[in-house]
């Protein structure tokens, strides 16, 4: 029935042969398999081996055991095994926060950069390379971050990651202690990345000056994740005094500051404040991404490691995946070096600025009682709503209506400790993206939203 090669491990061979027979339908759904004792005798193997293989295929969903009646091919087993459902991708809806206008992805510039990368990559470039990223990209990025974000990071301390998400996961594995302070409100998915990396996120309130450093100090955490240029979601900028206090805290506790610089290229009313990392490269890990500037689907991000933590982070990246796709990295390096990235940023910055201005007008017109918080930056804003509004229900209804919006309360990690000082503490609200679609489409969406608030 299943020819076995006695010179190789038998368990794997029998499992593979059975999987194939089930997958191709040779053993049809509902077929009863021989009793383990009989199959063992027929194949000349131990009964325990057959029982183990049956168990494994049952765990995979290919076989089912019927009480007292034997083992059968599962009904959904022909073809790929039914896997647990994956999270459904969230569609790009007019108000979904954090998404750039994907129709503006610079396809032509990217194609040129990609073709150039393909043409000029040496055979050696196509080998397993440095897991922390193509040296050419790390050189370009170090220059770009110095020029645009006043960062001070040597190419050797940069790790090219699969989005900011992987940077958080790597940092979680190497952070000092198991506690990490997180801004509250803040990004729920990022809290999840940190928790998946083994850390326990501790909520720290955010007020009009950014994270409350005194409250952070009281948590006992020695690591913190902050969004100083444009706090997510409130949109406040970490004040000069708080920046100094945060660096003092990190120095005092031997701590690590993770600076999530996710949308700092988008400041509309002035030059963005330089990153915190540039003031203290030994204390701050700078995390960046192309998800806002180009497209999240590229899954390209980076982390500028404090020199004392760089070796651990290089090792963590290598252990995670041996490195990211090299041609994409070389294409991005080309886009940085030929000015294509700057050019694209200038174009979309103008566009998003106009969209933000129009968003303010639409909100004032159609959402009476709503107040907008945060500086003129990024690609989302927060509107706070009258206290009678249940923002989660409203966000659910907005999503059902195809608008997509995030409830402000869904970004809160805990009870606000200093409610009276925080810009949005306890207040219902929505986090609204305004960059992904045209002004008209946004205005229509806000009008529908206004109708849902009633
Ligand atoms: C606050 C914040 N940081 C970073 C990111 C970027 O994550 P990634 O680079 O993994 O797409 C996002 C994406 O939505 C975000 O909201």
Whole-number pLDDT of residue 420:
45
Q: In this model, does residue 394 exceed pLDDT 90? A: yes
The ligand 1 atom nearest the CA atom of 165? 10
> Is there an atom of ligand 1 within 6 Å of 296 CB?
yes
How far apart are the CA of 252 and the centre of ligand 1, in A?
Answer: 29
Residue 233 Cβ < 6 Å to ligand 1? no
Average pLDDT, the chain: 91
Structure confidence by residue, pLDDT tens digits, 133-161: 999 999 999 999 999 999 999 999 999 99
Please say if the pLDDT value at position 278 is more than 70: yes
Ligand 1 mutation pick, 162, 187, 294, 378, max ligand atoms within 8 A of CB: 187
How confident is residue 13, by pLDDT bands cut at 50, 70 and 90?
confident
Residue 79: pLDDT over 90: no
What separation in Å is there between the alpha carbon of 447 and the centre of ligand 1? Answer: 28
Mean pLDDT within 100-110: 96
Q: How many angstroms separate the CA atoms of 89 and 376, rounded?
A: 29
Residue 376 has pLDDT above 50, yes or no: yes
Whether 412 and 428 have beta carbons less than 8 Å apart is answered as no
- What is the distance between the alpha carbons of residues 408 and 395, in angstroms, rounded to a whole number? 9
Q: Whose CA is nearest to atom 14 of ligand 1?
A: 98
Cα(441)–Cα(438) distance, rounded to whole angstroms?
A: 5
Which position has the higher pLDDT, 326 or 54? 326
The pLDDT value recorded for residue 90 is 59
**Poorest-pLDDT segment among 20-24, 144-148, 160-164, 435-439:** 20-24
pLDDT average, residue stretch 45-62? 80
Dist. CA 454–CA 51, nearest whole Å:
63
C-beta separation of 360 from 235 below 8 A: no
Q: How far is CA 156 from CA 183, 239, 266, 282, in A?
A: 30, 30, 27, 14
Note the pLDDT of residue 268. Answer: 96
Alpha helices in 150-212 (DSSP H): 163-174, 188-196
Distance from Cα 206 to the centre of ligand 1, integer Å: 19
Query: What mean pLDDT do residues 204-222 have?
Result: 97
Q: pLDDT band at residue 81, thresholds of 50, 70 and 90?
A: very low
Q: What SS3 state is found at 138?
A: helix
* pLDDT score recorded for residue 330: 98
8 A C-beta contact, residue 30 and residue 73: yes
User: What is the distance between the alpha carbons of residues 229 and 237, in angstroms, rounded to a whole number?
Assistant: 5
In the chain, what percentage of residues exceed pLDDT 70? 93
- Residue 78 pLDDT > 50: no
Q: How much is the average pLDDT of 281-303?
A: 98
Higher pLDDT, 335 or 93: 335
Per-residue pLDDT at 89: 59
User: pTM for this one?
Assistant: 0.81
Secondary structure element (H or E) that encloses residue 373, with its range: strand 371-373
Encode pLDDT of 336-365 as tens digits: 999 999 999 999 999 999 999 999 999 999
Question: In this model, does residue 419 exceed pLDDT 60?
Answer: no
* 308 φ/ψ angles, rounded to the nearest 5 degrees: -70, -15
Q: Please tell me the least confidently modeled range out of 244-253, 364-373, 417-426.
A: 417-426
Mean pLDDT, to the nearest integer, of 412-426?
A: 61
Res 423: pLDDT: 60
Label residue 68 by pLDDT band (50, 70, 90). Answer: confident
How far CA 205 is from CA of 9, 239, 419, 427, in Å, comes to: 57, 15, 9, 14
Residue ID of nearest Cα to ligand 1 atom 15:
262
Gap from CA of 1 to ligand 1 centroid (Å): 53
């Amino acid at each position: 029935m299943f020819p076995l090669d006695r010179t190789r491990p038998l368990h794997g061979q029998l499992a593979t042969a059975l999987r194939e027979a089930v997958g191709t339908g040779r053993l049809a759904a509902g077929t009863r398999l021989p009793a383990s004792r009989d199959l063992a005798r027929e194949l000349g193997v131990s009964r325990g081996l057959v029982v183990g293989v049956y168990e494994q295929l049952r765990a995979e969903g290919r076989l089912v055991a019927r009480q007292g009646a034997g083992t059968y091919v599962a009904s959904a087993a022909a073809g790929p095994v039914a896997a647990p459902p994956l999270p459904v991708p969230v569609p790009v809806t007019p108000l979904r926060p954090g998404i750039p206008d994907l129709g503006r992805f610079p396809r032509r510039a990217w194609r040129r950069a990609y073709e150039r990368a393909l043409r000029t990559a040496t055979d050696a470039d196509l080998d397993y390379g440095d897991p922390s990223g193509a040296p050419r990209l790390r050189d370009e990025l170090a220059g770009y971050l110095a020029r645009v974000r006043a960062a001070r990071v040597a190419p050797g301390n940069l790790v090219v990651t699969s989005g900011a998400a992987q940077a958080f996961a790597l940092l979680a594995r190497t952070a000092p202690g198991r506690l990490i302070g997180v801004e509250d409100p803040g990004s729920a998915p990022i809290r999840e990345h940190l928790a998946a990396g083994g850390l326990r996120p501790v909520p720290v309130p955010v007020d009009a000056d950014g994270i409350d450093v005194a409250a952070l100090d009281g948590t006992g955490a020695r690591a913190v994740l902050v969004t100083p240029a444009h706090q997510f979601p409130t949109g406040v900028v970490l004040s000069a005094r708080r920046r100094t206090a945060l660096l003092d805290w990190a120095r005092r506790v031997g701590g690590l500051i993770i600076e999530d610089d996710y949308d700092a290229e988008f400041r509309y009313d002035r030059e963005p404040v330089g990153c915190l990392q540039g003031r203290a490269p030994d204390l701050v890990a700078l995390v960046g991404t192309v998800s806002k500037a180009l497209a999240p689907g590229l899954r390209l991000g980076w982390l500028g490691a404090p020199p004392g933590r760089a070796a651990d982070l290089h090792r963590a990246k290598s252990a995670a995946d041996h490195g990211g796709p090299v041609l994409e990295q070389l294409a991005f390096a080309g886009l940085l070096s030929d000015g294509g990235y700057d050019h694209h940023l200038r174009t979309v910055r103008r566009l998003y600025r106009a969209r933000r201005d129009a968003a303010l007008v639409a909100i004032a017109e159609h959402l009476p009682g709503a107040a907008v918080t945060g500086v003129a930056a990024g690609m989302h804003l927060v509107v706070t709503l009258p206290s009678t509004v249940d923002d989660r229900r409203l966000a659910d209804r907005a999503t059902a209506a195809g608008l997509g919006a995030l409830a402000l309360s869904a970004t809160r990690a805990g009870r606000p400790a200093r409610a009276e000082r925080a810009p949005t503490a306890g207040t219902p609200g929505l986090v609204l993206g305004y960059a992904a679609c045209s002004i008209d489409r946004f205005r229509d969406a806000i009008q529908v939203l206004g109708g849902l608030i009633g």
